[in-house]
Each structure stands twice: as structure tokens, then as C-alpha cells.
Amino acid sequence: MWKRRTTALLSDLQVEAIVATYLNRFKAASADPRVELVTIFKNHGDAAGTSLEHPHSQMIATPVITTQLRDRLFSALAHFDEYGECIFCRVLEQELKEEVRIVLETEHFVAFIPFAVLTPFSMLIMPRRHMACFHEMNDAEAADLAHNLRRTLLKLYKGLDDPDFNYVIRTAPTESTGVKYYHWYVSIIPRLTKLAGFELGSGMFINVSLPEENASFLRAADIEKA
């Protein structure tokens, strides 16, 4: 039955319903005065930490903003203060100009493998319009996110034989809605490698693959017959 299928094998309408649920629950949780941050994510496969057999997403609302996100917000603000631009918009503009790391473009979103990606085939799905917070999407953008997400995951499914992966919606907290320096996105991390002593000991990552070659490989993945 389709209920047991991974996201890549669902229809656009089914993934639209998933994204609509994300938005609904995100807004509801964010309205609670005890909540500072809402994190939505999906674990697929044992290597990604899946704890239940059936496909599912998760949402956790916390009373604090994590150090990881605070560092990301601070760095983005520092760039904006120095250059007067959103660093995420700048990166997206550059990726669209160079084209070599683009995996999939739709009307409102672009999936690409960043130049300095930490692990093989990790990708970002970024909205073309500047938005700091996930809930700032309009209906057309939400539908297009579902369209882009399903096809991007299908390229992973077909090209890499259904790898384990995580995806996370990396959004600013709702208190930062409308800020000019941050830009939300979806991060997709295929679990193709493992952290070893160097990564754990240094905080640095060794990626032996080239993002340009990985992006070219995924672009060529045939998803039309799926």
C-alpha cells in the first residue's frame, strides 16, 4: 500500500498534504508561548536513526534556540552587516549562475549540492524568494516545495538505490520572521559515509567526492518512468 512507501514514491498531491501538515503543525506549535524553536525532520533508514518501521516525519518544539542555530543566525547577520546582503541569497544566485551543482529547478525552489558540502550528495532545497522562516511560504510555494522535494528524493532513490537519509527544515525561529539576513531551506543528508576519528576529533569533514560530479550524476537520474 502507498502508506508504506517512502516519500519519493508518493504522488505530488500526497507530498503536498505532508508539507501542508508540516506548516499547520509548525504554526500551531510556534503559537505556544513556551516554544522558541520548532524543528521538523525525517529519518529514513537505519543509518539515519529510524526507530519505527513505517515512513514518518517528526517535529520537536523546544523552549530554547539551539547553539547550532544561534551560530548560524549570528554568522548570517555578520555577513549582512558587512556586505548588506543575505548570504543565502548570494549563494543561490552564484549556484544558478554557475549551474554545475544544480540538481533540480522548479518554479519556486532550487535543489543543489553546495560547493563546500561536508558529505557526498548532501543537498539544499532553497526557496528562490527570500524568506527567513518556514511559515512565510504562500500556497503556491508550499505546493512547489512538495513537487521539488519529491523529485529530488526520487533522484536519490533511483540514482543511489534508495539510500538512508535525513532531511531537516532549517528555519529561523518565528521571532525572526521577515529578517533580511537569514533564508530558510531544507537540508538533505544521504547517509553514505560514517563519522570517524578525524571528524569527531577535529570537527572537520573529509569529502572525497566532487559536488559538481555528484550533481551531474543526480541530474542524469531518470525519474520520468518512476
pLDDT at position 226 over 80: no
Which positions are annotated as active-site residues? 56
Per residue in 161-186, pLDDT tens?
999 999 999 999 999 999 999 999 99
28, 38, 202 from 34: Cα distances, Å? 12, 11, 35
Per residue in 88-127, pLDDT tens?
999 999 999 999 999 999 999 999 999 989 999 999 999 9
Distance CA 224, CA 69 (A): 37
Q: What is the mean pLDDT of the chain?
A: 92
Q: Are 23 and 11 in contact (CB under 8 A)?
A: no
Instruction: Please compute the mean of the pLDDT values over residues 32-39 and round it to a whole number.
Output: 96
Distance CA 86, CA 75 (A): 11
Distance CA 113, CA 210 (A): 10
Distance CA 84, CA 179 (A): 12
